[in-house]
Amino acid sequence: MAQIIDVDGDAAGAAAEGPSGGGAGGADERVAARSPLRQALGRPELGALIGAIALFVFFSLTADAFLRTSSFATVLYSSSTFGIMAVAVALLMIGGEFDLSAGVMVTSASLVAALVSYQLTLNLWVGVAISLVVTLGIGFLNGLLYVKTGLPSFIITLGTFFMLRGLNLGVTKATTGDVATNSVADMDGFEQAKTVFAAQPEIFGVNIYITVFWWLAFIVVATWLLLRTRVGNWIFAVGGAASSARAVGVPVTRTKIGLFMGVAFAAWFSGMHLLFAFPSVQSGEGVGNEFGYIICAVIGGCLLTGGYGSAIGAAIGAFIYGMANKGIVYAGWNPDWFYFFLGVLLLIATIVNLVVRRRAETAT
């Protein structure tokens, strides 16, 4: 967490203290130079990376079809749909907050775009733009409610989770008379928007979903934001110790609202993929996915208490989730045990992560 140091000594110290207390051992230790190896071991994503490699080797040995390039493209697609959200959710969790409304917000975003465009017979891009405004508005509302009431974000977003669930169904039913939107596949702008959000360009003879590349873009931007900008330092600071951060002049309110809006932006993006890959949207979808995002972030090294974690880690977490999810299918294991296997694999990945990090922290 060397990146914290350039903002302000106090905020950095407070943030670094968070999980283990190891970082606050004494002034001497803090200024002492660390070997590159120990620095690498101290990275939040390292444990996840080892877990991912282990899982990859495991499925390569047990499932014949797993190593084919086309199979790998499928695994990456599955990972990317979780990964895009997981990156934004990881930033929010580093900032010390949860968003339980993230899963249904994806559905809301695609419903808004589909309903607005279809009902008013507009070009789909208009719906896409309105959806962006509405979804960012929901994120803003989440953040605003949090900073105004001071209630845990857990409770606030649980409330918005239920509200969105109800709105998704209620509004769709009221406007279309049905529980799914009408197909927008034959409307103006569909093909264009599909190229942006759901294209499958052929690369080395394999069709790879464009979400994989967008996912990489999300990772790069989020990592740059976290490690190379002042905003990144603020995020670590507000998650580690919000009151100390405020005391040294970090704009806590703006940072937190911004993080909720970041999740909303990712939800909008995922929603657009949903709409253009599956042109009619079921209003009841998305429930339960919020846990998937949080799980990815946690496997990737984010702490539930905030102040620690990385965007790359969350991306690797999503990759582990995707590999476990599809690897079980490739391996042809008994489908009745699917969720059991998934749970075991995720638990093992998280434990590996934990062990690696503890080793790194205690080794002197």
**325 is a contact residue toward another protein (CB under 8 A):** yes
Cα separation of the two ends of the chain = 17
The stretch near another protein (CB under 8 A) out of 57-65, 245-253, 306-314, 350-358 is 57-65
In whole angstroms, the minimum distance from the beta carbon of 27 to another protein comes to 38
Structure tokens at 110: 């695609």
Task: Note whether 277 binds another protein by CB under 8 A.
Answer: yes
**According to CB under 8 A, which residues from 68 to 87 bind another protein?**
68, 70-71, 74-75, 77-78, 81
Say if CB 290 and CB 102 are below 8 A apart.
yes
List the one residue from 330, 349, 353, 360 that touches another protein (CB under 8 A).
330
Choice between 26 and 288, CB closer to another protein: 288
Amino acid at 204: F
Tell me the window of 35-43, 45-53, 118-126, 165-173 that interacts with another protein (CB under 8 A).
165-173
Amino acid at 179: V
What span, in angstroms and rounded, lies between the C-alpha atoms of 339 and 163? 28
- Alpha-carbon gap, residue 238 to 247, rounded angstroms: 11
Nearer to another protein, 77 or 234 (CB): 77
Interface pick for another protein out of 274, 299, 316, 356 (rule CB under 8 A): 274
Q: For another protein, which is the closer residue by CB, 241 or 303?
A: 303
Tell me the number of residues near another protein by CB under 8 A: 53
Our CA dihedral for 57, 62, 66, 67, rounded to 10 degrees, sits at 60
Distance CA 321, CA 150 (A): 33
| Best CA proximity match to 170, nearest among 108, 118, 113, 119 | 108
Give the residue with the Cβ less far from another protein, 137 or 335: 335
Contact by Cβ (8 Å): 76, 93? no
Chosen residue from 25, 53, 154, 351 binding another protein by CB under 8 A: 154
**Cα separation of 313 and 219, whole Å?**
9
Binding residue for another protein (CB under 8 A) from 54, 130, 144, 169?
169
Widest CA span in the chain:
68
Cβ atoms 234, 251 nearer than 8 A? yes
Is 336 near another protein (CB under 8 A)? yes
- As beta bridge partners, residue 180 has 282
Which of 26, 36, 205, 288 is in the footprint of another protein by CB under 8 A?
A: 288
Binding site for another protein (CB under 8 A): 63-65, 68, 70-71, 74-75, 77-78, 81, 100, 154-155, 158, 162, 165-166, 168-169, 172-173, 177-180, 183, 200, 207, 273-274, 277-278, 280, 282-289, 291, 322, 325-326, 329-330, 332, 335-336, 338-339
